[in-house]
Amino acid sequence: MLEIQKTYLDRPMKVLHIVGGDLTGGAARGALWLHKALRSLGVDSKILTNSKITFGDENIITILIDKKEKIKDILRRQIDILPLQIYKNKKNLIFSTGIVGFDFTKTDIYKDSDIIHLHWICGFFILRKRR
């Protein structure tokens, strides 16, 4: 059996997977499989998502905790694509401007993690200049 090495704090490594959109898509399913495999090896793996689906896994944290957050998520997605409406050469592809989104860096789960793994994040988080 593969043994996971403890971190310098003599505790399991804490990995946070950031996944935008439903957990049924390609990249999201890959993140879910990786999350489950890491947990089976003793890693403290968690997923932060804006998916409505959590599969009953207490280690999958959704930001859509109430009606207000669900409405905010819909508005973020709509505002994010507004600049594309004036772009004449646009293609019918999934694209995010990164102008609006959810700032996961303010969450406790982010601050408590050793590793942040970004999976499919299009339209989910804000691209801001980090200081």
Residue type, 31: A
Which of 122 and 111 is assigned the larger pLDDT?
A: 111
DSSP state of 48: E
In a domain? residue 2: no
Residue whose C-alpha is closest to residue 102's, from 82, 119, 124, 79: 124
The band of 109, judged by pLDDT with boundaries at 50, 70 and 90, is very high
> What pTM did the predictor assign?
0.75
In a domain? residue 54: yes
Give how many domains the chain has, as a whole number: 1
Give the structural domain span for 62: 14-118
Mean pLDDT for the stretch of residues 100-121 = 87
In a domain? residue 131: no
In a domain? residue 8: no
Q: What confidence tens digit (pLDDT) does each residue in 13-65 have?
A: 999 999 987 888 888 899 999 999 999 999 999 999 988 889 999 999 998 87
In a domain? residue 74: yes
The band of 128, judged by pLDDT with boundaries at 50, 70 and 90, is low
In a domain? residue 9: no
State how far the Cα of 108 lies from the Cα of 8, in Å rounded to an integer.
Answer: 20
Q: What confidence tens digit (pLDDT) does each residue in 61-106 have?
A: 998 878 887 787 778 777 777 777 777 777 776 666 667 777 888 8
In a domain? residue 24: yes
